[in-house]
Structure 1
Amino acid sequence: MGSGPLHLVLMGISGSGKTVLAERLAARLGLPYAEADEFHPPANIAKMASGTPLTDEDRWPWLESMRAWMDQESSAGGTVSTCSALKRIYRDLLRGAAGRVVFLHVRAEPAVITERIQARTDHFMPASLLPSQLATLELLAEDEDGWVLENSGSVDELVERALAVVAGL
């Protein structure tokens, strides 16, 4: 994996499978793990729970908190976290963390994601916000340090594909 801290950010829209993959990767790699939702201030959670999309202004403090956590945990050799990171400017802010920040874009079919979100009972993100997330999502550009992981097959297969990417870093 090279020298210096390696921060893996599992990005993508809500319901794509970021959390399950991130938890498994963190355990396999022995790195600290954080769920981006834990960094949202209560006002952001309330806004999303009411079905209102966040603005860039809502997101900046949240993203800065995440970057600060990544910096704080750099001594562990890196981190694994989830973050929608829908826009390049959000990823650019996170890329400011100490070490190398690599984005793994977890993708799944919108119909599958809608089913997952509707089946959730413990999450504030309503399925009604899925169209706004899809509209906001800017795919990784060729010059960004990252890979796309299609969330198809089993969770174990997805974990193995992610570990293969990490092994090549």
Structure 2
Amino acid sequence: MVLVVVMGVSGSGKSTVGSLLAKKLGWKFYDADDYHSDGNKLKMAKGIPLTDQDRIPWLGELHKIIREGLSSENIVLACSALKRVYRDILTNEESTALSQEVKKDEMPPSRPFFVHLDGSMELILQRLEKRKGHFMPSALLQSQFDTLEPLSAPEHFIIINVEKNVLDIVSEIERMLVKSNLEYLQ
């Protein structure tokens, strides 16, 4: 089974791109925002950035969902996954002091594929300021950019500029999955 994590800062289009990609591929879609605790949502709504400790239970829950889901289906997850350690927790990769706080069960064999939706602070800020009804205020965008750790080897990833049309982004991701020889059409 295959896991694709559509990641990036708030407002980069993770939920939109992830849900469209999952629909196009016939895969299961999860939006990580749906799994934040009420306390985390309240903290962010007040303009207070989450700490690593705030994120641990949330990442642990997402890890569990991914592990259980991958036993029977391909998954697209929309998740900020800003730090390497967060991505490691999600995918059961190398242990670090922070990730050791999450009980990890063996994941089904799968090499996660990360899609980083990247864009300028100015563009993403414009998007956030137009968004209604979301707990994440635009005031926290700088903290997200400050926290973001670029993807690097051995992570399996692509970076896509969010200035492109959403349907073009989804098509590009699909092409990269095929090019990467991920057997997602099973």
TM-score computed with the length of structure 2 as normaliser: 0.85
Aligned partner of 2:165 in structure 1 is: 154
- Give distance in 1, aligned partners of 2:157 and 2:170: 16
**Unaligned runs of at least 5 residues, structure 2:** 93-106, 181-186
Q: Does 1:135 align with 2:154?
A: no
Please give the per-residue CA displacement for 1:121-140, whole angstroms capped at 9, x wherever unaligned. Answer: 12110010011000000000
Please give the per-residue CA displacement for 1:136-163, whole angstroms capped at 9, x wherever unaligned. Answer: 0000013211111111221111111111
Aligned partner of 2:23 in structure 1 is: 27
1:27 CA drift (Å): 0.4
Percent of aligned positions that are identical: 38
CA contact (8 A) 1:94 1:101 kept: no
- Give distance in 1, aligned partners of 2:71 and 2:144: 33
Q: What stretches of structure 1 move > 4 A for 4+ residues in a row?
A: none
Aligned partner of 2:155 in structure 1 is: 144
- Give distance in 1, aligned partners of 2:76 and 2:86: 17
Superposition pairs for residues 32-47 of structure 1, below 5 Å?
32-47=28-43
Aligned residues, how many?
165
Aligned partner of 2:99 in structure 1 is: none
Matching residue within 8, 13, 16 for 1:12: 8
Q: What is the one-letter code of the residue matched to 1:107?
A: D
**Unaligned runs of at least 5 residues, structure 1:** none
CA contact (8 A) 1:6 1:101 kept: yes
